[in-house]
Amino acid sequence: MRSLIVGTGSYAPEKVLTNADLEKLVDTNDQWIVERTGIRARHIAAPEQATSDLAIEAAKRALEMAQVDPKDLDLIVMGTITPDYPWPSTAALLQGRLGNKKAFAFDVSAACAGSLYALSIADRYVSTGVAKRALVIGAELLTRIVDWKDRNTCVLFGDGAGAMVLAPSTDEKRGIQSIHLHADGSAWQMLHQAGPGSRNPLTAEMYAQGKHHLFMNGREVYKFAVRALEEACRETLAASELSPSDVTWVCAHQANKRILDSTLERLEIPESKCWMNLEKYGNTSSASLPMTLDEANRAGWLKPGDLILTTAIGAGMAWGAGLIRW
Ligand code: ACO
């Protein structure tokens, strides 16, 4: 039995920060940001909003499309590295807020690959019949951990949430074909947040050293990402004995336009097949994949039978790719 995505939803906070706004905060300019990243704006959560506030909006929209009552969910799995609290999981908080009593709920920490990891886990539960209705979320408030004085990173990220509802497919051909996940912990330092945690506990010194901020070695991440994404896409296509020319649409994590363009070029997939939205949202980490899928879906791109290639990469390093027959 395959699992099928029967509903998608997304949410971005109201406030928009443009490249022109950033020019007032750090030594940067619109041309540099657009040429290097493709980003023109990003959404920023209001001070009173936490990750679950974004997640619940995306979840409600996905559940409405799927016509699934939140009370009937058997599983809620969320990819996030900016949870409401260190614990309990934001997925558990969401379960409570949705009024659900029977789902088991947990978060997955795989950074920008978080929603792909979460989708893979939910797929295993639904395709084996253990869960009938699963909610998969990617929700992130990266702007809370970004150093707003660091132009290398603060221009890249935005806040948002995306959701997918999974159910058993009634058509044996439609649904998730395969998802292939990878990690390389030896590369963890190129993208990380050093504290607070058991290695660097919550102290004034830790804050003074800026260890609570997101750290990224952009050039190293770029090189790693382009190679890893191509390999993962080829792996998932090969598993179904398909080639890049069979792909109808690409809905992928929006890390950076140049990373996506290079990956598409290496796979010889035209850019016109790839839904891009990082121009208006920036990199929303785990939220970006389901937000992208939702936008493409609501725009009428995704038709039953279409072959969707998806891929994501994030800190860990953690990455993967998957193939969905819509
Ligand atoms: N505005 C103006 N100048 C800047 C800015 C900025 N916002 N940021 C950096 N610069 C400067 C640098 O200081 C450097 O100046 P120097 O030559 O005088 O030292 C110059 O621009 C070039 O810097 P590089 O880091 O070499 O720029 P690069 O072309 O590599 O682009 C970027 C940087 C966009 C971060 C790129 O490396 C990249 O796309 N990396 C991928 C990382 C990514 O997308 N991460 C997202 C999160 S991880 C994920 O989702 C996978």
Residue that is written with structure tokens 């390389």 in the block: 184
Catalytic annotation present for 253: yes
275, 295 contact by CB (below 8 A):
yes
Would you tell me how many other CB atoms lie within 10 Å of the CB of residue 182?
Answer: 16
pLDDT tens, position by position, 136-174? 999 999 999 999 999 999 999 999 999 999 999 999 899
Q: Model pTM greater than 0.95?
A: yes
Q: How far is the CA of 256 from the centre of ligand 1 (A)?
A: 11
Q: Which residues line ligand 1 (CB under 6 A)?
A: 28, 32-33, 36-37, 112, 151-152, 155-156, 191, 216, 218-219, 221-222, 225, 255-256, 258-259, 283, 313-314
**Helices then strands (H, E): number in the chain?**
11, 13
2-171 CATH pick, 3.50.50.60, 3.40.47.10, 3.90.1150.10, 2.60.120.200: 3.40.47.10
CATH class label, 176-325: alpha beta
In sequence order, the 6+-apart residues with CB closer than 8 A to the CB of 217 are 189, 190, 191
Q: How far is the CA of 134 from the centre of ligand 1 (A)?
A: 38
Q: Catalytic pick from 112, 154, 233, 274?
A: 112
pLDDT tens, position by position, 74-130? 999 999 999 999 999 999 999 999 999 999 999 999 999 999 999 999 999 999 999
Domain with CATH 3.40.47.10 in the chain: 2-171, 176-325
